[in-house]
Structure 1
Amino acid sequence: MIIAGLTGGIASGKSTVSGFLSDAGALIIDADKIAREVVKQSTPGYEAILAVFDRMILLPDGEIDRKRLGDIIFNDPEKKSCLNAIVHPRVLERVNEMVARINTQTPEAVVIMDIPLLLESGLEKNLAEVIVVYVPETIQLERLMRRDGIDERAATARIRSQMPIEQKRNRATIVVDNSGGLSATRKQARAVYSRLKKRAQNPAK
């Protein structure tokens, strides 16, 4: 088994690349999906978040309003730290369980940990590769404005709240350039999968 991390900047196309890697045969561990699961209604994570943020962050059905919660922590670093302290340990526990199960059931698997804040959280240290989906910030800005229907000022603020995309690219061991068309990105993703699969099958090399 080989485990690689996948990350990128907001609106860089990380989810697209994750999909291409999955299509090629990789097993994807989606940190965002797990983060939603560990704070679903009636879970310990849900109760811990309510203790900090109160019921004002709930949707009518009782689930957490992720957009409202995101707006709060975007403007309050202290509350962001509180939320991370609740969510991150639970996500890591679930991730470790999934990795152990895959290692037992599919020892030659290519496992991709899809983690938006991989580098910011320092989670890349024990990974075989760090894959960064890259687009220049100008393209990132344009795509984010179009995707979320926001103006340039709001889009810039969101981009600047993350580690700069150039810095992420410099820390990558593999870069997938997503500034071109989908066919070019798919070709790169398939090449990455082939490279990782060879290493998974020949771990000594």
Structure 2
Amino acid sequence: MKTIGLTGGIGTGKTTVSEYLKEKGCVIIDADKISKEMTEKGSPALEEIKKSFGGKYISKEGTLERKLLGDLVFNDPEALEKLHAIITKKVEEKIDLILKQLKKQAIDDIVVIDAPLLFECGMESVADENWLITADMQVRIDRVKKRDGLSEKQILDRINNQMSEDEKRGKSRCIIDNSGTVEDLYRHIDKIIERIRDEF
């Protein structure tokens, strides 16, 4: 079993890469999905968020106001760090449990930890190697505008509030540029998968 840490900033196309890796037979561990499960209605993490950030971030139905909290933490590094402290440890514990279960099942293939904040949360050491998805800045901005309806300023605020791409590059074995066509992206990924499977 080979474990890959997959990350990339907003608008780089990390989800596209993750979905393609799944099609190619890789096992995907979705850190974002786990994080959302950890903050579901009635969860201990949700109560911690309420205590740390205030009741306005919890809806009348008792669920997390994700967009509202996102607007806060992506414009306030201290708030983002506080949120990481609440959620990251719980997510790491869940990922560790899943990896142990996969090892018991003797999975003989590639396991991908899909985590947008892989490096920011210090999860890169869990993987055998880390991949960074990148794209030209204007390409990223255009994608997010179309997908989420955010303004250019909102997008840049979110990008600038994360670890710099240069720092991420220094921690990554593979840099996958997703500025071009989907076909170019898939060809690049196919070569990397072939290299890893040849190492088994």
Regarding TM over 0.5, the answer is yes
**How many Å apart are 1:46 and its aligned residue?**
1.7
| Stretch moving more, 171-180 or 75-84 | 75-84
Q: Write out per-residue CA displacement over residues 119-175 of structure 1, whole angstroms, 9 at most, x where no aligned residue.
A: 223322342211111112232222223322233222222221122334433432112
Over aligned residues, Cα RMSD in angstroms? 1.8
Q: Do 1:31 and 1:115's aligned partners in 2 also have CA atoms closer than 8 Å?
A: yes
Asked if the contact 2:75/2:161 (under 8 Å) is kept, the reply is: no
1:110 partner amino acid: I
TM-score (norm 1): 0.88
8 A Cα contact 1:5 1:112, kept in partner: yes
Q: What residue in structure 2 maps to residue 147 of structure 1? A: 147
Does structure 2 retain, via aligned residues, the 8 Å contact 1:134–1:169?
no
Matched-pair contact (CA < 8 Å) for 1:137–1:165: no
Per-residue CA deviation, residues 29-68 of structure 1 (Å, 9 max, x unaligned), is: 1111100011111222122222222321123432101111
Instruction: Out of 181-190 and 138-147, give the one that drifted further.
Output: 138-147
Given the superposition, is the C-alpha separation of residues 151 and 107 from structure 1 closer, same or farther in structure 2, using an over 3 Å criterion?
Answer: closer
Partner Cα distance (2:165, 2:77) in 1 = 21
- Residues 60, 192 of structure 1: alpha-carbon distance in 2 compared, 3 angstrom cutoff: farther
Q: What is aligned with 1:82?
A: 82
How many Å separate the matches in 2 of 1:133 and 1:77?
23
**Greater mean alpha carbon deviation, residues 10-19 or residues 186-195:** 186-195
Unaligned runs of 5+ in 2: none
C-alpha distance in 2, partners of 1:51/1:151?
30
What residue is the counterpart of 1:61 in the other structure?
61
Asked whether the equivalents of residues 22 and 28 of structure 1 are also in contact (C-alpha less than 8 Å), the reply is: yes
Aligned pairs, how many?
Answer: 200
Displacement after TM superposition at 1:109 (Å): 2.6
- Match of residue 119 from structure 2: 119
Q: Which residue of 2 aligns with 1:94?
A: 94
Distance of aligned partners of 1:67 and 1:181 in 2 relative to their CA distance in 1, 3 Å threshold? same
Q: What CA distance in whole angstroms lies between the structure 2 residues aligned with 1:61 and 1:192?
A: 45
User: Match for 2:145: what amino acid?
Assistant: M
SS of the counterpart of 1:107?
A: coil
| Aligned match of 2:103 | 103
CA distance in 2 between counterparts of 1:107 and 1:15 reads 23
- Give the stretch that moved more between structures: 5-14 or 117-126: 117-126
AA at the equivalent of 2:154? A
Displacement of 1:192 in angstroms is: 2.3
Q: What pairs with 1:176-187 in structure 2 (closer than 5 Å)? A: 176-187=176-187
Within a 5 Å distance, the mapping from 1:125-136 to structure 2 comes to 125-136=125-136
Contact (CA 8 Å) 1:136, 1:165: kept in 2 or not? no
Aligned partner letter, 1:188: H
TM-score normalised by structure 2 residue count: 0.90
Query: CA–CA distance in 1 between the matches of 2:156 and 2:76?
Result: 18
Gaps of 5+ in 1: none
